Every structure is written in structure tokens, then in C-alpha cells.
A and B are shown apart, each in its own frame.
Chain A
Amino acid sequence: MLENSIDHPPVLNAQDLRRSFGSTTALNGVNLKISLGESLAIMGPSGSGKSTLLHALAGIELPDSGSLILDLPGQARVDLQQLNDKARTKLRRQSFGFVFQAGLLIPELTAEENVAMALMINGTSRQTAMMQAGRVLAALGLAGMEQRRIGQLSGGQMQRVAIARAQVTGAMVVFADEPTGALDSTTGAEVLDVLLACTVGAGKSLVMVTHDPSVAERCDRVVKLSDGNLISDSSRSSSTVGGQAR
């Protein structure tokens, strides 16, 4: 069993996650606990199972076996494995935030509407949603750009809009898949600063897949995967290998 390096209760507890695609094993009995307020980088070579693990932790795709408990403060514990697609979709939009490399912003909408959409889907009125979206965008340095269409924004600005969307619902866990992968180093560093400030800086958890060691070293903890196996788990204060304390 892996021990967490940060002394916070785990919000996500994955036990013995297994996932195969035909004869390829993407996850081979992965155990992982993620604490509240912790930033975790998932690293590994292509095909090692990084994205599969992120998708499993976020309830996007169910693993073949294992258990995945979500235990958010003030909410009932949930076993994601027991939820159907509809319930997991609802859980994702209410409890998780996402920042992907592609941004996945709706091109027809303005920056403000893209952010507000996350709230409106959860039932917030348009007026309230737009006001909150405007506030979050301004906090992320996008004041004055609320009415711009996505195509009128730079790559870094688009990722800030995506971060604003992940943050506006108050999600306590944010998943990011190569959030700076499509950006130049300077813009990437700026976006990472914003992402960390909005998540860990606000007491939320951040789970991030990255190839970039300089991005990973900004996180509290780094886990490495190889052929679906979790081969190392290191934090700024301690590290473990193969599930055992090192």
C-alpha cells in the first residue's frame, strides 16, 4: 500500500485498478491515494497507461476491475465502479474539473459563455453563471476578453479559459492531461502557475499527466508508470518504489 506524503485525507482511493485493451495491459493492479490539496504528476513513456489511469480516476472510463472511492468533504463516499455512465457524467460535471491539451472549448461560444456553460449545465441561471464566469476570467488575467470567441484567443489564453471552466464550479479535484503540451515554454510556465494557484493554492487537488519533467517537478508528488505498472511514487519529502516505502 502506498503511503501519501502529504498529511491530508484521501479524496480518491484507487485499489488494484486493472484495464486491458485486447492483449495490451494498460493498468496492471495500480494502487493510488490522492489527498485533498495535493498536486500529483503522472509520468511515463507513451503507452505506459498514463491517460488510461487519468481516465479511470476521473470516471471517464471504468477499469476492468478494482475499486475507486471518491470521498469529498461534506459529501457521501462514492464508489465510481458502481455508477452507470449517466451518474458518472453527472459526477464529472459536478465534482471534477478538467483541463486537456486540446482545450475542448466550444468554438461558437465566447470565452465567458464557455466558462458559464459549466455552471448552466448544473442548473445555474444564465445571468448568475455569466457573472461568476466573468469574475473567474478576470481573476485569471482575462478581463476585457470575455466576449472574444475562442478563435480570437491565443493558445495560452485558451488554456486559461479552460482552467476557468474547471474552476468555476468549485470542483475539488482537477484533472489535467498535458495542459501545457501545446504551448511554448514561457506561456506553458505561466499557464502552469495559474493552474497550480487555482487548484493546490486554493486547497484543491490536481492530478496531471505530463511528459515534461520541469512541469512534474512543480507538483508535490510524481508517480511513474511503465507497461501499466506503477513503478515509482516520489514526493518532495519521501518516495516509494513498487508500492513500498523507499
Chain B
Amino acid sequence: MNLLHLAWLLSRPSKARLAPQILTASAYAMVSTILLIVLGGAHSFTSFEGEAQGTYLPLAATAVVLLVVPLLVLGSAAARLSARANDRALSSLRLLGGTGMQIRVVTVIQAAATALAGALVGLVLYLACAPLASLIPFQGAPIGRAIYLPMWIVAVAVFAVVLLSAISAAAGLRKLVISPLAVATRRTVPVPSWVRALITVGSIIVLCLLFLNLGKVTESLAAIIVVILGGFGLGLLALNLVGTYLVSKVGQSKLKKAQTPQQLLAARMILENPTVSWRQVSGVAMASFVAVVGGSGAAMMQQSATDEINHSWYDYLPADILTGVLVTLAITFICVAASSAISQSASTLDRAELYSGLHRLGMPYSTMNSARTESLMIPALTASIGFAIASTALVLPLAGMAVIISPLTVLTVIVAVLLGLALVRVSILVADPQKLLATGE
């Protein structure tokens, strides 16, 4: 029996694995649709004239690159879910003498096949959504037929989704132990250090000082833009560094105050692995950051815009930046929701025996669900608010208080935070142990 035959035997549709398979394929379909629409939008900018094209194309390229990270996270989560959904079959293969490498190859092939199926569905969805996306205005006119990509770009995009899923599947499998007896998630519980908090606070202060004195450091516009973009990048990295520490601190505080079974369980679930808790909600934090920076940028452009119309491409830049920010936020949220739903489903399958066992013992599924919800929503809330405050501190020296408290910025941030939290909340429902495990039985 060769590997391809094994891969087919494991990945062919079956009732027991239906929910995880549909979830994984849907996630890939969604990402493919988004990728193709963003590429379509970027492709439409190639028809702009010289100077406008020079400004719009790098912005579009940034949006495309931003998609790769959530796609990798999603692919990694999908591979783990795929392995969890097939755990018995994979363990049996190990018991029959399959090597760890063979099992990994089979799982990667499976993930790639699921991604291909998802990407093809995504292609159909792209064609279905394209008429709507073509109405998005840039440079004062709808994108129109330019949203439709040439065939070769579509083929490259589909291939890229499959390739990235395979790569991230291989990376994700390093966190799984597939033994002849079971499949388990490899647990490494780091101890978050206060040094992380110190580095982050120090970085934010240094960046704020740098932004405040930007005019004294350099007068070149190009250099200023590079410093600002670099500063935001470093700020994001520094904030990401403190995420695990922040989540563990909040978890400890919740543990002390816990009075109900669900509060106690939720706090312990967060503290079990703060890095994983943080990773599941880091997308929401990213969305908060984009909302503050993008919202302020759009507000600044709005304030600097004059009634005088020069009939140049620059007239449309403020509105187009706002459109770009909204599109980027929408993409981020969709990826966050998909990754979160998949991670939660993998986690539920990981603990299937425990959940059904606890139910037998008399623990209601509602208690388990409340604990799961709190264990995700507490870090999500921490991430959203923490990142919104920190990114405001970064933006303040550049934009000033008037921009930060302008209705457009405030509205963008509030909507972004609420929407992010709502999507994470919905993703928890998808991974309801009672429903997910019932499907698997």
C-alpha cells in the first residue's frame, strides 16, 4: 500500500470526520476567495497612471503580504485539526508499522488535498463575489471588470494556497505526537517573564520619543516614512512579545478571583499555556492595531483634505486609504474567525474523551462551554484593549490628540474591537463539544 493510497483512505469523506473536514475546507475556501479578490483589487491598480500607480501598488502589495501570515496560521491549525480528526486511523497506521515520517507525509498530502478542494471552491466563490467586489471604488470609480484576474495569476494563487497549506501543515505537525497509541498535542509550557513587559514598555517609550522628535532626526520625507513604518513594525513586534506575559497575568488575577467552576476552569485553561491562549487571539490584537493606526491615518487624511479639487489622483487618496483600511480590517477579522474556529475545534477533539467523560460524571456541557468561552474571551478582551491603548500611545506623537479623538478614529477602533470580539465569540460556538463530538461519534 503506497502513501497516496493511504492518504486517500484517510482523507476520503466519512460521516465521522464530516464536521472537521468541512470546517477545514471552508477555511481554505474563504482564504482563497479573499486572496483572489485582494489580488484582483491590486491588479486593477496596474491600470492607474504613473505616480498614482507608484503609491497604490506598494499599499496593495502590503495588503497581500499581510494575508500570508494569517494563511500560514490557518494552515497550521488546519493540519492539526486534520490529524486530530483522523487520530485513530493515524495511530493504527503507526501500530501497523508506518514510520513517523510516512504518517507526516500522509497528513501533509491530506492537508494539501483539502486545501486544493477549498481553493477550488474559493475560486467559484471569487467568481460569485467578484461582481460585488467590483463595486468597491478606487480613484473615484468602481474597480469594474479589472477585478477579474488573468488565468495565470489565478493558477499561481491556487498553487500558492496549496503550497502554503502543505508547508504550514508540516510545521503544525511538529506540535503533534503521533504514537501507535494516540495522537496528542505536544505541550511546552513556557514561563512568561516580566523582562518581556520591561522590553515592551521600554520600546514603546523609545518609539514615542523618536516619533515626537522626528523632525529633528531627519528632514527627508522618504526617511521619515521609513522611520514611521519601521517604528510601527517594531512596535507591533514588541507588543506581540508582551502578549503572553499579559495573558498570564490576567489569568493569574482571574484564578484568584474565581468563584464558579467555569471561572476556575477558564483561568486554569489560560494559565495552562498562555502562549497558545495568546496565539489564538493575537489576530484580534492585530486588528486593534490596524484600526488605531489606519483609523488615525484616514482621519488625518480627512482633516488635511481641502474642498479645492485639483482633478488629480491625490484628490481620491484620503477616501481610498479609508477603503483600504476597512478592507484590511475585514480580511483580518475573517482570518481571525477562521483560525479561531479551527483551533477551538482541534482543541475540542483533543479533549474529546475528557469532555464526554466529564459529562458522564455529571458536568453539564454548558459549564464546559462557559469555561471555554471565558478562557478565550478574557485573552481576546485583554488583547484588544491592551493593543488599542499601546498603539494609541504610538500614534499620539504623530497624529496628535485631535486626530485620536476624532469621531472617525474612535468609531473605527470601537467597531473593530467589537467586531473582533464578536467573531471570536461565534468561532467558539462552532467548536461546541456537544455538537462536534456528537458528529464524530
Contacts and interface: CB of A to CB of B under 8 A. Distances in A.
Interface of A: 55, 58, 60, 86, 89-94, 96, 98, 100, 102, 104, 106-109, 113, 117-118, 120-121, 125-126
Contacts of B269: 108
A125 B362 contact: no
Q: Which of A58, A108, A109 neighbours the largest number of chain B CB atoms within 10 Å of its CB?
A: A108
A217 B23 CA distance: 50
A108 B268 contact: yes
Given A102-B357, A121-B367, A113 B362 contact: no
Contacts of B358: 104, 106
A100 B358 CA distance: 11
Interface string B338-377: 0000000000000001100111111110010000000000
Contact of A120 (B264, B271, B359, B364): B264
B259 A104 contact: no
B360 A109 contact: no
18 contacts: A55-B360, A58-B360, A89-B364, A91-B362, A98-B360, A100-B360, A102-B357, A107-B354, A108-B269, A109-B268, A113-B264, A117-B264, A117-B265, A117-B363, A121-B261, A121-B364, A121-B367, A126-B259
B362 A90 contact: yes
A96 B363 CA distance: 12
Given A86-B364, A93-B361, A117-B261, 4 more contacts: A104-B357, A106-B268, A108-B265, A118-B361
Q: By DSSP majority rule, is chain B's interface helix, strand, loop, or mixed?
A: helix
Contacts of B268: 106, 108-109, 113
A86 B258 CA distance: 25
B272 A108 contact: yes
B349 to A, nearest CB: 16
A89 B356 CA distance: 12
A113 B272 CA distance: 14
Nearest to A100: B357
Given A109-B265, A126-B259, A126-B264, A121 B354 contact: no
The contact size tier of chain B is: 20 to 34
A120 B261 contact: yes
B306 interface: no
A244 B265 CA distance: 50
Contacts of B259: 125-126
Nearest to B362: A93
Nearest to B258: A126
A117 B272 CA distance: 17
Interface of B: 258-261, 264-265, 268-269, 271-272, 353-354, 357-364, 367
Contacts of B364: 86, 89-90, 121
Nearest to B266: A108
A88 to B, nearest CB: 9
A60 B359 CA distance: 9
B361 A92 contact: yes
A50 to B, nearest CB: 15
B185 to A, nearest CB: 12
Nearest to B354: A104
Given A104-B354, A126-B258, A109 B264 contact: yes
A96 B362 contact: yes
A89 B359 contact: yes
Nearest to B353: A102
A102 B268 CA distance: 21
Nearest to A124: B261
Q: Which of B354, B357, B360, B367 neighbours the largest number of chain A CB atoms within 10 Å of its CB?
A: B360
B348 to A, nearest CB: 15
B264 A93 contact: no
Nearest to A105: B354
Contact of A121 (B271, B353, B362): B362
Nearest to A166: B361
B246 to A, nearest CB: 19
A126 B48 CA distance: 66
Given A100-B357, A104-B354, A104-B357, A89 B362 contact: yes
Contacts of A104: 353-354, 357-358, 360-361
Given A106-B354, A108-B269, A98 B260 contact: no
A106 B361 contact: no
A60 B357 contact: no
A92 B268 CA distance: 25
A93 B364 CA distance: 9
A106 to B, nearest CB: 7
B362 to A, nearest CB: 3
A60 B360 contact: yes
B264 A94 contact: no
A235 B354 CA distance: 35
B139 to A, nearest CB: 54
Contacts of A91: 362
Contacts of B361: 92-93, 98, 104, 118
Give 7 nearest A-B pairs by CB, closest first. Answer: A93-B362, A92-B362, A104-B357, A108-B268, A120-B261, A108-B272, A60-B360
A13 B268 CA distance: 40
A55 B268 CA distance: 30
Contacts of B261: 117, 120-121
Contacts of A121: 261, 362-364, 367
Contacts of B272: 107-108
Contacts of A118: 361
A107 B347 CA distance: 14
A104 B361 CA distance: 9
Q: Which of A100, A102, A120 neighbours the largest number of chain B CB atoms within 10 Å of its CB?
A: A120
Contact of B360 (A86, A92, A106, A108): A92
B280 to A, nearest CB: 15
A56 to B, nearest CB: 12
Contact of B362 (A94, A107, A120): A94
A85 to B, nearest CB: 9
